[in-house]
Structure 1
Amino acid sequence: MPQDYLKRILTAKVYDVAQETPLDLAPCLSERLGNRLLLKREDMQSVFSFKLRGAYNKMAQLSPEVLSRGAIAASAGNHAQGVALGAKRLGTTAIIVMPMTTPQVKVDAVKALGATVILHGDTYDDAYTYARQLEAEKGLTFVHPFDDPDVIAGQGTIGMEILRQCQKPIHAIFVAIGGGGLISGIAAYVKRLRPEIKIIGVEPMDADAMTQSLAAGHRVRLPQVGLFADGVAVREVGEETFRLCQEYVDETILVSTDDICAAIKDVFEDTRSILEPAGALAIAAAKIYVEREQIQDRTLVAVACGANMNFNRLRFVAERAEMGERREAIFAVTIPEERGSFRRFCECIGTRNLTEFNYRIAGEREAHFFVGVQVRDREDAAEIAATVAAQGFKIIDLTDNELAKLHLRHMVGGRSPLAEHELLYRFEFPERPGALTKFLNCMSPNWNISLFHYRNHGADYGRIVVGMQVPPDEMSELQAFLETLGYQYWDESQNPVYKLFLG
């Protein structure tokens, strides 16, 4: 009952280990959205996640006798740190079963808190089953990551803090959903005191167990879940959390991987903090909601619920963030294999920045290349496609094509029997508008480009590799071109890697 949860939340024992986190304005994102977006900074907890609230509250309620036997939990990472910290603070032991796919940063953090880590299975559910088996064998106390009233109440203290920290009207609170403990606790408290506030749950498109369950009217078990947002990769939501969500959650929003990456970038630009994928779900959904509802000047709250990010994953996040913001479009373009065609294509792009260009000569009549372009929005991308098509070129929009974004963009190339008299050069040039166009305009029209690779990596300088078919009697003109261009360059024509894979 709501009264029961209200009392549980008000008396929850969380502040021995948790801090009351700030409710910070995201100034840049707020201005862009035309609404006041507040971030509940649970990423600032000592374990960089909200999970210690519920875990500690559960363990603190146990009798000394039960607590002395030790605790066990299954977790993809953040709950594990909460249990490990709770065990350390309460003077007991903890065993944590984690999926084999858990980011190493989370495994190391749990070990550093003194818990024993066992890696088992590919998903949370595999780890959960094994943890339950060990619980029975060793007589330990299982600390559920979400489907427990004390855990739910611990997470609900976030809702209590939000209402205390923001006295002004709140239009909606956005909360990530894994098993449902976080949103259940927040919703049970907020709806009891401020029922007019919308509670909106957020799930990845490939891990939407709560969304499917609410639509079906009963808990749905997913056959598999995506692992990018590993903190919410749960196949089946809790029984109690499902009941509470049915009663209190107004709606759920599904977000894509690109949406999540864009949200991570948004939060970084406002706070200089880097959220993990699950931690950025709420921000991604707030953006989608504002665009869908066309609201203005409202106060929105997004729970930034975790920051246990693997550093290596940042490469992928940076690659996909621009697409999540709809600020990069990628295309496959086919043009006639004749001099001047590439220049005509560049004229179609106009003053927009090229973000990527991959090409390898492959046929005598047609040239196929993969190109990325910085755009204002999806309408701008459609305008580019129409302009290119009007020139008689074939163009396919690949912006939503996962195969192209994940793999094919890195596989354009190979050997070509048509690359006669090819020389390979690597260049660095200042990363500013017009630099690439300057390079193309300085080249002799007699030299055919047989290979081209460029990708904007966010540095102050751009890097390209160019294959040029230069007749042997024009080497002096080539040298003059290289010297007057003003860009740093390297002759890679004798590079063994080039000879092995491209030459």
Structure 2
Amino acid sequence: MSNKNYYPLMADIVKASRVVQEVAHTAPLLKNMNLSAKYQSNIHLKREDLQLVRSYKIRGAFNKISSLTKENLAKGIVCASAGNHAQGVAYSCQKLKCFGSIYMPETTPRQKIKQVKMFGGEFVEVFLTGDTFDDASSKAIADAKESGKTFIHPFDDPKTIEGQGTIGLEILQQYSEPIDYLVLPIGGGGLASGVGAWFKEFSPNTKIIGVEPEGAPSMKLALDNKCNLALENIDRFVDGAAVQKVGDYTWKVCEKVLDDILVVPEGLICSTILRLYNEDAIVAEPAGVMSIAALELMSDKLEGKNVVCVLSGSNNDITRMEEIKERSLLYEGLKHYFIVRFPQRSGALKEFVTDVLDTGDDITHFEYYKKSSREKGPAVIGIEVQKSEGLKRLKERMKDRNFIFEYLNDKTDLFQFIV
């Protein structure tokens, strides 16, 4: 079957649902009171973060590996992943007693690497290579060709797509009311293809919304150009969805099933992670909350609607929380960086603290540009304000008191270098 003709068969998704029962439970579909109140609607979260491997990826991985012949299982399998697919493959290898070689980017959070090794045990070996999923994938495919092992694609394989499609089957069994919007995260497109196909068949009036991170909108690129193109550069922050090119199978299926595709800023994703943690005690990873973050971009359409968001994963490394908080504050307009040249007078630094900063403002970063002439040389200063409107007043007070400054937040290259 050629790529352009493939479309998931409902019978194959039903078959997959019986297969994945061995490793994945029916994740709860829970109404979220905070989100429902905020958007004046009925927001339900499909909690795939509660699977044993803490993401939905176990479904597609196990469905694919289970379909292999005994001969192919004996030769072993190989995969590439930024984390969640690797964990699904690792657990499947241990369950089916087959050996797996797992290639992961060197940038993969340590927590995910540790989990892969734990789930796979003696049946997997992990290789760290390259900076992105695509780098790791190239190495894994080369290994498969050379060794004769079967390559288990994280998204661009019919069996994987059908395994992820079992989520759609479950949602419609769990939710008795008509669903107005189904919001799905997109990395390579396997989840959106499988679940979207099931909904198009059995809930055709539901609007299916795909969501990508602003730093890696590869599905939007493919759909806008009607051709599966690769992004030249991507932001790797949303590691579970940072792919340069979506699947040849998946983009064609998504072209048929998606009603819209939204691109969410990484800062909004970070704010959503923190809000879920603080309000609902839900620990989620960046890719896991993309569908929930997208609600902010849909807010004018949601009143009175029934909405389902797939919360796709919770494999978040706690060491990333400082970066997540920083990105959130920058996005919300609450964190600002400046290069400040202090006036050539005694006590200028004290004056800055007492007369320039407003009540509640906090200096969170301070570093002299030079080691000499302190209080008279330039300094990089990070200031956290209480409200986004505080930036205007902060700049005005610096000007009034003759502090020469350069605002860094909107100078991307300089900002990233210094901060």
TM-score range, shorter chain: 0.7 to 0.9
Partner of 1:453: none
The 8 Å contact of residues 375 and 381 in structure 1, kept in 2 or not, is answered as no
Structure-2 separation of matches of 1:189 and 1:173: 12
The 8 Å contact of residues 2 and 192 in structure 1, kept in 2 or not, is answered as no
Structure-2 separation of matches of 1:63 and 1:388: 71
The sequence identity of aligned pairs, in percent, is 35
Structure-1 separation of matches of 2:283 and 2:416: 22
Partner of 1:310: 317
Partner of 2:383: 372
Structure-2 separation of matches of 1:346 and 1:25: 47
Q: Which amino acid aligns with 1:322?
A: L
Q: Identify which of 164, 167, 170 aligns with 2:176.
A: 167
> Per-residue deviation at 1:248?
1.2
Shift of the 340–4 alpha-carbon distance from structure 1 to 2, 3 Å rule, reads closer
Structure-2 separation of matches of 1:142 and 1:235: 19
> Per-residue deviation at 1:124?
1.9
Q: Identify which of 338, 357, 361 aligns with 1:353.
A: 361
Q: Structure 2: which 5+ residue stretches go unaligned?
A: none
Q: Identify which of 63, 66, 77 aligns with 1:60.
A: 66
SS at match of 2:229: coil
Partner of 1:248: 257
SS at match of 1:163: helix
> Mapping of 1:49-448 within 5 angstroms?
49-112=55-118, 113-114=120-121, 115-290=124-299, 293=300, 295-330=302-337, 350-354=358-362, 356=364, 358=366, 370-377=381-388, 379=389, 381-382=391-392, 385=395, 397-402=407-412, 406-408=416-418
SS at match of 2:46: strand
Partner of 1:9: 13
Structure having the higher Rg: 1
> Per-residue deviation at 1:201?
1.8
Q: Which amino acid aligns with 2:117?
A: K
The 8 Å contact of residues 8 and 161 in structure 2, kept in 1 or not, is answered as no
The 8 Å contact of residues 260 and 324 in structure 1, kept in 2 or not, is answered as no
2:28 pairs with 1:22: yes
SS at match of 2:20: coil
The 8 Å contact of residues 329 and 373 in structure 1, kept in 2 or not, is answered as yes
Structure-2 separation of matches of 1:88 and 1:246: 36
Structure-2 separation of matches of 1:11 and 1:221: 33
Shift of the 102–371 alpha-carbon distance from structure 1 to 2, 3 Å rule, reads closer
| Number of aligned positions between the proteins | 406
> Per-residue deviation at 1:145?
0.9
Structure-2 separation of matches of 1:106 and 1:366: 44
Q: Deviations over 1:350-409 (max 9, x none)?
A: 4443353637596998986635233434x5544654676577766655444445654535
SS at match of 1:168: coil
The 8 Å contact of residues 332 and 371 in structure 1, kept in 2 or not, is answered as no
SS at match of 1:11: helix
- Per the normalisation by structure 2, the TM-score is 0.84
Partner of 1:40: 46
Q: Which amino acid aligns with 1:239?
A: D
> Per-residue deviation at 1:123?
2.3
The 8 Å contact of residues 337 and 363 in structure 1, kept in 2 or not, is answered as no
Partner of 1:486: none
> Per-residue deviation at 1:175?
2.0
Structure-1 separation of matches of 2:312 and 2:227: 26
Q: Which amino acid aligns with 2:313?
A: G
Q: Structure 1: which 5+ residue stretches go unaligned?
A: 410-503
Shift of the 358–364 alpha-carbon distance from structure 1 to 2, 3 Å rule, reads closer
Q: Which amino acid aligns with 2:188?
A: G
Shift of the 363–75 alpha-carbon distance from structure 1 to 2, 3 Å rule, reads closer
SS at match of 2:127: strand
Structure-1 separation of matches of 2:379 and 2:142: 56
Partner of 1:412: none
Q: Which amino acid aligns with 2:32?
A: A
Q: Deviations over 1:149-204 (max 9, x none)?
A: 11001111112222222333433222222111111111111122222222222222
The 8 Å contact of residues 53 and 82 in structure 1, kept in 2 or not, is answered as yes
Choose 47-56 or 246-255, whichever is displaced more: 246-255
- Per the normalisation by structure 1, the TM-score is 0.71
**Two-structure CA RMSD over aligned residues (Å):** 3.1
Structure-2 separation of matches of 1:352 and 1:16: 54
The 8 Å contact of residues 330 and 398 in structure 1, kept in 2 or not, is answered as yes
Shift of the 298–382 alpha-carbon distance from structure 1 to 2, 3 Å rule, reads farther
Q: Which amino acid aligns with 1:274?
A: V
Structure-2 separation of matches of 1:47 and 1:209: 26
